[in-house]
A and B are shown apart, each in its own frame.
Chain A
Amino acid sequence: MNVLRWYTKAMLTNRSIWSWGVGFMLFWLVIGAFVESQGENLSGSGVTTYTAAWYVVIVLFSMSMFAVAVANSYTYGSAALSYSFRFSKLSPRSFFGSVVGGAAVMGAALSCVMLGCTLVLFGIRFGARLAPTDVPALLAVSVAAGVFYMALATTLMLIVINYLGLKSSSFVAFVPLLFSYAFGLAQVYAQLPAWLLYVSPYNEIESLLYQAFVGQPPRLQIGGTSSEVLAWPYLAVGLVLWTLLLSGSAAWLLGRIKSRQVEEGRQI
């Protein structure tokens, strides 16, 4: 018995995801298109590179807001899940399968909305018709990114729920967001070592999305001039391994979920 249809609906109608994961990101896209670009003298491939850099960072931020919503849903739903696994046909495995399906849909939806907004805003700013080079690859990476962020948020929050108590839940819910900002911006503003980019799932997502957008492998710094480029198969394998590892741990933790009272997290 799965709840994919309802879980997807709950995610797609979640106001927090749309206001923070889309609305707030639109604000940053406007900044990127019309404010940050003021001092840049861009043309041709420079416009594409600049636009792609903003798009991949914004997708990371948007997905991380989705992760925050996923994490919070466990805080509020721990009793319901614990009860449902005991006294209904819902099993931890089928529920997790539904969550993976919902996350894949959300990953694709958020990425597509961000792509559309990026193309329109940056197209207006630079007077150019912009388009990603490899849309299927971009969609595939977006789906994988959605599942990765869900698995990360689920694992972190279930560790809190099952073993630590909810007092640290607010902070932990924001961990994926904090790492997204740190790793995502680092690759744009600095030249990171290659090994780190191959190991960090955030940079794997960022680099793969960038390659799908511009059609060329990313350098160590997004839009940078280093001679070393990243190989997409290694990036893809790294992302898949991270997603599998976190999905496995999330599914295991879900089967042991403890019921917690939401008020526990609000007490000082």
Chain B
Amino acid sequence: MLHVENLTVEYPVSRSPALRQVNLDLQGQKMVLVGSNGSGKTTLFKALLGLVRAKTGHISLFGQDLSSVRGMTPVSTNLPEVYRLMSLPVSDLVEIHARLKGGSGAEVLGRLRALSLTEILPKRIFELSQGQQKMLGNLLAVSFDPRLVLLDEPFDNVDFERRRKLVDLLRALPAEILLSTHELELVSRFEGWRLAFLFEGQLFGPFQIEDLDRLYLSRGRLTQAVSVLETGLGAFSITFDHGELPIRRATSLIALMEALP
């Protein structure tokens, strides 16, 4: 159970906030968060895990304020930096994280085998390819009975076959999931999940994945808009069934905005 209220994050050297007044509620659901590179997805995940400090706002996990969270093993993520506890071979890291999460390394080893990734076991993290690092983080995040999984761009640098297997795994996983991606064409694979957009640090939504075919983007503030995006490129309205361009057809939200006259 994830609850975020008016979250704003600002980096010291940056003029504008990385996240602005973000509100988010996951009550047992799974959600895909679509945003282009630099929209604030990773910052949002780091803030939810306490890895960056929020300027304002409130985050609670399973009813507990983030600042007081200790030993909450059912929360997990695929952010690579959280798995660099020590410089050891992957086989040892898997064992350490299994123990720290109260699970068994055999679960991860089984998944590594199923994805033909056992070759990474004797290697250290810095010796892995970007895709291998991403898959290792993904598998550690979905193992050991998590109840809330935060997956930041889990398909980045991952080949087609492993993407397909990972999608199946995530759809079957009995946990709340917040998954971010910049690839809009991937979204339709997550039927039944919720959908939100992150643009310039602002969150828009939620919608249902099934609504994706009905969502349109138009320039300006329209009266029938279900959501208005205030961006550096101007204001854009998201509407149902009618509008200038269907969101479904775009590869990314920013490409769609740039395509609008």
Q: Spell out A's residues near B (CB within 8 Å).
A: 1, 3, 6-7, 9-10, 13-14, 73, 76-77, 79-91, 259, 261
Give the distance to chain B from A6, nearest Cβ to Cβ, in Å: 5
Give the distance to chain B from A92, nearest Cβ to Cβ, in Å: 9
Determine whether the beta carbon of A9 is less than 8 Å from that of B92.
yes
What is the CA–CA distance of A147 and B210 in the complex, to the nearest angstrom?
59
Give the chain B neighbours of A261 by CB distance below 8 A: 81
Q: Can you show 17 pairs from A to B with CB atoms below 8 A apart?
A: A1-B99, A3-B96, A10-B87, A13-B88, A73-B87, A81-B85, A83-B77, A84-B85, A86-B70, A87-B69, A87-B71, A87-B75, A88-B101, A89-B102, A91-B70, A91-B71, A261-B81
List B residues 74-112 near A (Cβ within 8 Å): 75-77, 79, 81-88, 92, 95-97, 99-102
Give the distance to chain A from B123, nearest Cβ to Cβ, in Å: 13
Known A77-B85, A87-B72; contact A82-B96, beta-carbon cutoff 8 A: no
Determine whether the beta carbon of A88 is less than 8 Å from that of B97.
yes
What is the CA–CA distance of A85 and B67 in the complex, to the nearest angstrom?
12
- Nearest CB in chain B to that of A90: its residue: B100
Known A86-B69, A86-B70; contact A259-B92, beta-carbon cutoff 8 A: no
List B residues 212-236 near A (Cβ within 8 Å): none
Give the distance to chain B from A253, nearest Cβ to Cβ, in Å: 17
Which residue in A10, A79, A81, A89 is a CB contact (below 8 Å) of B101? Answer: A89
Give the chain B neighbours of A6 by CB distance below 8 A: 86, 88, 92, 95-96
Determine whether the beta carbon of B92 is less than 8 Å from that of A86.
no
Give the distance to chain B from A12, nearest Cβ to Cβ, in Å: 11
- Nearest CB in chain A to that of B80: its residue: A79
Give the distance to chain A from B244, nearest Cβ to Cβ, in Å: 40
Give the chain B neighbours of A10 by CB distance below 8 A: 86-88
Give the distance to chain A from B252, nearest Cβ to Cβ, in Å: 25
- Nearest CB in chain A to that of B67: its residue: A86
Give the distance to chain B from A266, nearest Cβ to Cβ, in Å: 15
- Nearest CB in chain A to that of B82: its residue: A83
Which of B75, B76, B88, B96 gathers the greatest number of chain A CB atoms within 10 Å?
A: B96
What is the CA–CA distance of A9 and B86 in the complex, to the nearest angstrom?
10
- What is the interface of chain A mostly: helix, strand, loop, or mixed? helix
Known A89-B100, A89-B101; contact A73-B50, beta-carbon cutoff 8 A: no
Question: Does B52 reach chain A (CB closer than 8 Å)?
Answer: yes
| Size bracket, chain B contacts | 20 to 34
Give the chain A neighbours of B83 by CB distance below 8 A: 80
Determine whether the beta carbon of A259 is less than 8 Å from that of B96.
no
Q: Spell out B's residues near A (CB within 8 Å).
A: 46, 49-52, 66, 69-73, 75-77, 79, 81-88, 92, 95-97, 99-102
Determine whether the beta carbon of B46 is less than 8 Å from that of A259.
yes
What is the CA–CA distance of A79 and B82 in the complex, to the nearest angstrom?
5
Query: Known contacts A79-B84, A87-B71; can you find 10 more A-B pairs with CB under 8 A?
Result: A3-B100, A10-B87, A10-B88, A82-B51, A83-B51, A84-B85, A86-B49, A86-B50, A88-B71, A261-B81
Which of B49, B71, B77, B83 gathers the greatest number of chain A CB atoms within 10 Å?
A: B71
What is the CA–CA distance of A79 and B97 in the complex, to the nearest angstrom?
14
Known A1-B100, A85-B70, A86-B49; contact A9-B81, beta-carbon cutoff 8 A: no
Give the chain A neighbours of B86 by CB distance below 8 A: 3, 6-7, 10, 73, 77
- Nearest CB in chain B to that of A10: its residue: B86
List the 5 closest A-B pairs by CB distance, nearest first. A88-B100, A83-B82, A79-B81, A259-B51, A10-B86
Determine whether the beta carbon of A82 is less than 8 Å from that of B92.
no
Give the distance to chain A from B72, nearest Cβ to Cβ, in Å: 5
- Nearest CB in chain A to that of B126: its residue: A76
Give the chain A neighbours of B99 by CB distance below 8 A: 1, 3, 89
Give the chain A neighbours of B50 by CB distance below 8 A: 82-83, 86, 259
Determine whether the beta carbon of B70 is less than 8 Å from that of A84.
no
What is the CA–CA distance of A13 and B92 in the complex, to the nearest angstrom?
13
Determine whether the beta carbon of A89 is less than 8 Å from that of B73.
yes
Determine whether the beta carbon of A9 is less than 8 Å from that of B88.
yes
Which residue in B66, B73, B79, B95 is a CB contact (below 8 Å) of A88? Answer: B73
Give the chain B neighbours of A1 by CB distance below 8 A: 99-100
- Nearest CB in chain B to that of A69: its residue: B87
Give the distance to chain B from A263, nearest Cβ to Cβ, in Å: 11
Determine whether the beta carbon of A76 is less than 8 Å from that of B84.
yes
Give the chain B neighbours of A84 by CB distance below 8 A: 82, 85, 100
